[in-house]
A and B are shown apart, each in its own frame.
Chain A
């Protein structure tokens, strides 16, 4: 009976046959740091149990305190007295000599490092199990920090726009993981192969650029390619990567800046945008070479099935008045950018930049108080919208969405607002390209960032609501709970002949009324954009000219032209200005 623990050295820890009367039960003993399964006789006493435990955990019996179901197990008790049965868990605290001290609990202090590796978030950074030595996994983990710190450096270079907070988030995660396991990082760094590789900037650059997604990324964000092409910067980056302390220091600074950014009202969302635009593709780009993108599983498979670099993160479109889409992290202060909106899609056009669907304004979603308050918050907080929309990455996100209507539609379709309404989905799908293009339209953007404009819109909506109740005959389509109504909102004119999805028989008179209203609105808000053609059509000749001059990036050209209202010279300057020589 004193023989408990006929230890089998070298065997798996469990299953020490206890020679006693009664059956053997397996009880899990859990410390704050660890847990072990201990087999003991069912009718053993607490003392015997403690003997076993002290052996297993290598602590003195006096130090052991066992707790089960809130009760402290005293030596004189028996296990069965407390109801300890097979498969149950007993908690153990190993007392230290002095209080609040160094946690005398032994048992697998190495467990902390494995836990450190595994509990960190799914940042791709480092594979916890890779240690110095293996050449295979070693480069990938450093690859990511290189890229990241590279961009982190960018952040400290002023005014490169996208360099800033965006990558800091990336780095935050990286930092966290790395910090939680510093030995790992230094091990990696010490690997001679890694050092070799890192001291060769050309090689690094090649590796990074070889990744097609990275290339796409670079295309969309010329700053990246600039960064990569700057050997000085690369060298600095690698220096940084080699010196974890320095890296941490820098990350910490950025961390601080980042949290400042987070605290401003619109900042959170802006960050999210940035993240989705850059980090996602970054991650995928980095990981694709060396493994699967941890985030693609989250989004890629469920949503687009398109390139993993763009997952449903693209979903938010900040137009509160356009077709519904959701955009915020619900947590606190939900009132950021516009999610919500009309239940009827509408065809946005130049003169109707927000794509307001006259037929369904004042319906459905708007009526819910939650939405109302959201909208109010939006109109009260122009800063929010501004942050959101003025970011360059927002633009590129829009671009990517515009280029990838399939994806965008999928993303939006999954939005629960759409879920029950296939007709709506159809409409929206058709209008998507226009809509997206509109989002890029600075006019539209400026309207949205203009608080007075937003307020005016809200007033219109409220007015319509009133109208709806007062004079239902005027807007019969509104009655039917806000449906697909009018896809061709106001000012449809030119646009897409291709997209005139079902107009569910609405009142044409009312439609015209709305059209006029919206045209006026657009005329006033659009700054003399009296033409009703797409910017592309409008600027066709200018585009050609730019092309001839050697500006082959049609997207950028268009943007510049739109921004400058067709002025070629100004556009050229813009284009040149945005591409740091």
Chain B
């Protein structure tokens, strides 16, 4: 069987707006949003995230976003790398294929949340997963929704299935 190693699992949090959201959100949206959060799960020495191309990985902190704004420790997992890769492959084939990306409802944070639960049983902080609904609850967000729905974020990395 697999060794019962313990692999630390971390959540990397980035602010896609680089601080602008914190400044401008009260004006634009009428409510304070501290950032446009993008997250990735780091385990087994790699950073995994879900973007427009599908599930991608890179070395931790290796996306054009640079170093994360903050890192949350999610604990440990016994899931070894091999099994994790299989799991991700199944995810890619089902719910996290490249065309499933939706900025509001099925985005990188959705993915991080799900993987976090798989690996450790814990969820990621709720302020991250609440972001879409926060935005959508403003009239501005709703106005933009149809447009934003068609946006995908592609900050680089390698696709998990080896395709781009």
- A and B are interacting partners: yes
B residues 83-120 near A (Cβ < 8 Å) are 83, 85-91, 93-95, 99-100, 102, 105-106, 117-120
Q: How large is the interface on A (under 10, 10 to 19, 20 to 34, 35 or more residues)?
A: 35 or more
Per the 8 Å Cβ criterion, residues 416-437 of A in contact with B are 416-417, 419
Rounded to whole angstroms, the CA-CA distance of A547 and B86 in the bound complex is 72
A508 touches B (CB below 8 Å): no
Chain A residues with Cβ under 8 A from B83's Cβ?
Answer: 65, 72, 93, 95
A275 interface residue, CB < 8 Å from B? yes
Q: Residue B99 contacts which of A179, A283, A313 (CB distance < 8 angstroms)?
A: A179
Q: Are B118 and A67 in contact (CB under 8 A)?
A: yes
* CB-based contact B121/A68 at 8 Å: yes
Q: Assuming the A-B contacts A326-B27, A328-B28, are A96 and B86 also in contact, with contact meaning beta carbons closer than 8 angstroms in the complex? A: yes
Interfacial chain A residues near B161, Cβ < 8 Å = 100
Interface centre among B86, B106, B146 (most CB of A within 10 A): B146
Q: A65-B83, A91-B118, A112-B94 are in contact. Are A295 and B146 (CB under 8 A)?
A: yes
| List of B residues within 8 angstroms of A67 by Cβ | 77-79, 118-119
A370 touches B23 (CB 8 A): yes
Question: Could you say which residues of chain A place their CB within 8 Å of the CB of B140?
Answer: 315, 326, 415-416
A340 lies within 8 A of chain B by Cβ = yes
The stretch that binds B, out of A140-148, A329-337, A441-449, A498-506, is: A329-337
**Chain B: minimal CB distance from A493 (Å):** 33
Would you call A100 and B27 a contact (CB within 8 A)? no
Give chain A residues whose Cβ lies under 8 Å from the Cβ of B77: 67, 70-71
Q: Which residues of A contact B142 (CB under 8 A)?
A: 298-299, 302, 312
Given the complex of chains A and B, what is the CA–CA distance between A371 and B26 in angstroms? 12
Determine if B130 is an interface residue (Cβ-Cβ < 8 Å): no
Q: Which residues from 283 to 325 on chain A have a C-beta closer than 8 Å to any C-beta of chain B?
A: 283, 295, 298-299, 302-303, 311-313, 315
Does the CB pair B30–A416 fall under 8 Å? Answer: yes
A108-129, CB < 8 A from B: 111-112, 115-116, 119-123
Complex partner residue of A315 from B20, B95, B143, CB under 8 angstroms? B143
Assembled-state Cα–Cα distance A280/B1 (Å): 56
- The listed residue (A71, A112, A298, A370) touching B146 by CB distance below 8 A is A298
The distance in angstroms between the C-alpha atoms of A118 and B4, with both chains bound, is 38
Please give the distance in Å from A196's CB to the nearest CB on chain B. 31
Give the A-B contact count at a CB cut-off of 8 A: 183
A414 on the B face (CB < 8 A): yes
Q: Answer yes or no: A172 CB below 8 A from chain B CBs.
A: yes
Nearest to B7 among chain A residues (CB) is A70
**Interface membership of chain B positions 32-73, coded 1 if the CB is closer than 8 angstroms to chain A and 0 otherwise:** 010010000000000000000000000000000000000000
- Most chain B beta-carbon contacts within 10 A, residue among A32, A72, A328, A419: A32
Contact of A105 among B20, B33, B90, B100 (CB under 8 A): B90
Main secondary structure of the interface of B (DSSP, over half): helix
Number of interface residues of B (CB under 8 A): 59
Docked complex Cα distance between A122 and B2 (Å): 43
Q: Give CA–CA (A303, B105) in the complex, Å.
A: 23
- A140–B148 Cα distance when bound, in Å, is 25
A303 to B143, CA, bound (A): 10
User: Mask for A392-419, Cβ within 8 A of B = 1, else 0?
Assistant: 0000000000000000000000111101
Within 8 Å CB of B150, what residues of A? 121, 169, 172-173, 176
Check A33 for interface membership: any CB of B closer than 8 A: yes
Q: How far is the CA of A331 from the CA of B24 in the complex (A)?
A: 9
Q: How far is the CB of B49 from chain A (nearest CB, A)?
A: 16
Q: A69-B121, A280-B146 are in contact. Are A330 and B2 (CB under 8 A)?
A: no
Q: Known A67-B78, A100-B89, A334-B17; judge A312-B94 contact (CB<8 A).
A: no
Q: Which residues of A contact B28 (CB under 8 A)?
A: 326, 328, 330, 334, 339, 416
Contact present for A370 and B24 (CB under 8 Å): yes
Query: Is A103 touching B93 in the complex (CB atoms < 8 A)?
Result: yes
**Is B99's CB under 8 angstroms from A180's CB?**
yes
CA of A53 to CA of B106 in the docked complex: distance in angstroms?
Answer: 28
Is the CB of A496 closer than 8 A to any CB of chain B?
no
Q: Pick from A34, A330, A419: contact of B20, CB below 8 A.
A: A330
- Give the residues in chain A near B82, CB-CB below 8 Å: 99
Which residues B116-145 have CB closer than 8 A to chain A? Answer: 117-121, 138-140, 142-145
Tell me the minimal C-beta distance from A199 to chain B in angstroms.
30
A369–B22 Cα gap in the complex (Å)?
12
B36 smallest CB distance to A (angstroms): 6
Q: Which residue of A lies closest to B4 (CB)?
A: A72
Contact B147 A275 (CB under 8 A): yes
Which A residues are CB-close (under 8 A) to B86?
Answer: 93, 95-96, 99-100
Given the complex, which residues of A lie within 8 Å of B102, measured CB to CB?
119-121
Q: Nearest-CB distance from B130 to chain A (Å)?
A: 16
Q: Which residue of B lies closest to A330 (CB)?
A: B28
Contacts of A115 in B (CB 8 A): 94-95, 100
Q: Are B20's CB and A103's CB within 8 A?
A: no
* Contact partners of A69 in chain B: CB under 8 A: 120-121
Listed residue (B2, B76, B95, B106) with the most chain A CB atoms within 10 angstroms of its CB: B95
Task: Name the residue of chain B whose CB is nearest to the CB of A373.
Answer: B23
Nearest neighbor of A171 in chain B, beta-carbon distance: B150
Chain A residues positioned under 8 Å from B87 (CB to CB): 32, 91, 93
Would A332 and B121 count as touching, CB distance under 8 A? no
Asked if A26 is at the interface (CB within 8 A of a chain B CB), the reply is: no
Q: Which residues of A contact B156 (CB under 8 A)?
A: none
Say yes or no: is B9 at the interface (Cβ < 8 Å to chain A): yes
Q: How far is the CA of A91 from the CA of B120 in the complex (A)?
A: 10
**Counting CB contacts under 8 A, is A31 at the interface?**
yes
Q: How far is the CA of A183 from the CA of B30 in the complex (A)?
A: 43
A279 close to chain B: CB less than 8 A: yes
The residue that B90 contacts in the complex, of A103, A280, A283, A303, with Cβ under 8 A, is A103
Residues of B within 8 A of A315 (CB): 140, 143
Query: How many angstroms between the C-alpha atoms of A106 and B26 in the bound complex?
Result: 48
CB-CB under 8 A from B23, the residues of chain A are 369-370
Of A32, A280, A330, the residue contacting B95 (CB under 8 A) is A32
A-B CB contact pairs (8 Å), 22 listed: A32-B88, A32-B90, A33-B93, A34-B94, A68-B121, A74-B1, A89-B117, A94-B90, A95-B86, A101-B89, A119-B105, A176-B150, A275-B147, A280-B146, A298-B145, A298-B146, A312-B142, A330-B33, A374-B24, A415-B139, A415-B140, A416-B27
Q: A68-B121, A298-B146, A331-B36 provided; 20 other pairs, C-beta below 8 A?
A: A33-B95, A70-B76, A70-B79, A91-B87, A91-B117, A99-B85, A112-B93, A172-B150, A299-B142, A312-B143, A331-B16, A332-B16, A332-B20, A333-B20, A334-B24, A340-B27, A365-B27, A368-B27, A370-B20, A414-B139
Closest 9 CB pairs of A and B: A416-B30, A69-B121, A32-B90, A33-B94, A70-B120, A70-B77, A121-B149, A32-B91, A370-B23
